Amino acid sequence: MEKLSKTQKALAQYLQRPTLSAPVREMVLYLKHLFCQTQSLLTGNYCENNYRPTSPLTTNKDQLSLTQTRVLLIQEHTKRRIERNLSALAESETLDIIAQDYAEKLCQVGEITHTLNGSTLEQRYEIGQYDYIW
């Protein structure tokens, strides 16, 4: 626990440096958040570091529709894939319907699982008539 506290203090001091670039500042803020969350899990105390990464998803989240959120997520994921020389993603209306239906079922039962009531992703694709190719 003492090491966690020391690490959090060191990160807080590091953030005081006026010469930190924006990307480094974001990374350090994220690390600080992870250590705060870890300490929270160990102690049972709520982590109150108010970490909010700056992105269209976090700065405008209360004004975004579900469709707008999906578009932003696909754009961000595509950007990261392209940086790794992978192909871009494209939205699929069929997959959106399958995923939304499953998300609503998860909300109804109050669980987060990939196999609700024993169902698998492949079965959900089949029910949703999505041609799944691996």
Query: Quick one: tokens of 1?
Result: 């626990």
CA distance 29 to 107: 31
Q: What is the per-residue pLDDT for 101? A: 86
pLDDT tens per residue, range 49-73: 666 666 666 666 678 788 888 888 8
CA dist., res. 20 & res. 22, Å (int): 6
Give the span between the Cα atoms of 2 and 122, in whole angstroms: 46
Q: What span, in angstroms and rounded, lies between the C-alpha atoms of 23 and 26? A: 5
Kindly tell me the burial class for residue 38, based on how many C-beta atoms sit within 10 Å of its own C-beta (0-12, 13-18, 19 or more). Answer: middle
Contact 11, 32 (CB under 8 A): yes
Structure tokens at 133: 């190719």
Report pTM. 0.48
Tell me the pLDDT tens digit for each residue of 92-122: 888 888 888 888 888 888 877 888 778 877 8
